[in-house]
Structure 1
Amino acid sequence: TEIGAEKSCKFGNNIKGVRIDSGDLIEHAKKVRKILDKNGCEKVLIVASSDLNEYKIKEIIDKKVPIDIFGVGTELATSRDDPTISGVYKLIEYNEIPKIKVSEKKLTYPGKKQVYRVYNKGGQFKEDILSLENEPIPPNSEVLLIPIMKNGELITNLPNLDEIQDFYLENIKNLPDFYKKLEKIQVPRVEVSEKLQQLTDSLKFNYPTK
């Protein structure tokens, strides 16, 4: 790695950067930065990659390691710590009649629903509210469940990559800092509307568990 850095110095600042993709990234980066700076390549960036994830990147940043760009591949395209999502179909309405499942530890909320994201006065995320579909929109909130397909047809214009990125950046900006921590993770607050809870309780009363 260091030999490669020395060879790249003959190109001066004409090259954009050098990449470190194996070994001890922290130690290699420190040595490579010294080599580059010593040879007048202060503008050359250091790119690091090697099974990086958020925890390794945080360690590198906290130690003020001279790495400018992180290349994340495997950990971005996969979910190594939680690789599967358990999904089960549950009937919540039939012929416009709300339905409920009351099995132990498998209670479902009945009826067609909507989810509203509520923001505080500063425009930051406060909570999500699970409600019935026909309930009024809470103040300072936006609708999260939007129809995409109907009768097999696409009914919504799909965003392009730039729009997806802008949407992501805007949502991250509106997320309080305590939700962004890697340790002592706080679970976002989700509330159930009063009407949905009342409907759930009434149906539970009609179908008591043994």
Structure 2
Amino acid sequence: MTRQESASTAPQTYAERSYRSPMGLVGGAMLIALGLWLGGDALVRGAAETKLTALFALVLGVPLVAAFTLRPVVKAGEDRLLVRNPFRTLTLPWGAVEDLRASFSCEVFTTGGRKYQLWAVPVSLRQRKKAGRQAARGAAPRRSVLGGDAGPVPRAMADQTMDELREIKAQATHREGASGEPVVRWAYGVIAPCVVGAIGLAIMAAV
């Protein structure tokens, strides 16, 4: 077998893809900055009770905002799908992924009948309506004027992402490394400070 034939029959490799919500990252950073500014001012200038309340509010608020805005990410590799949601991290081998759907939210279904939401890939109904209007307005005229294909139909970002994930899953169907069971880990580093902050605020409110 020649070198060229060997290269053509070798398994193709794909770079890991990461998906995040740009609006979530920007919004989360702004909310945390605002919270630190207000909380910091209360810690510096407030009375003792105000300082304690501000401290517990920051201990609860900063991790909570970060969990829902900065933390979520979806990473698609050759063998597995990693889903980092606000309070859990899911490691799903592609062999354990049964389906990927996008309706009012993006969801992944496993072979065990479990369903998990992809927080990092929010569904925008506005984007879908806009893409539908663009497709309805532009596809037919471009075909009639150019006499050829009008190109890809416009799609919302969430739908494009789910198409890419389905494509990666299809490529990994027969890979030996894509087998295995889903692994779910709780994000105790996020949960613990939220619990402490909530208990502290409850105590401050009671006294």
Please say whether Structure 1 and Structure 2 have the same fold, judged by a TM-score greater than 0.5.
no
Hey, which of these two has a bigger chunk of helix by percent?
2
Larger RCO of the pair (alpha carbons < 8 Å, separation 6+): 2
Q: Which has the larger radius of gyration?
A: 1
TM-score (norm 1): 0.25
TM-score (norm 2): 0.25
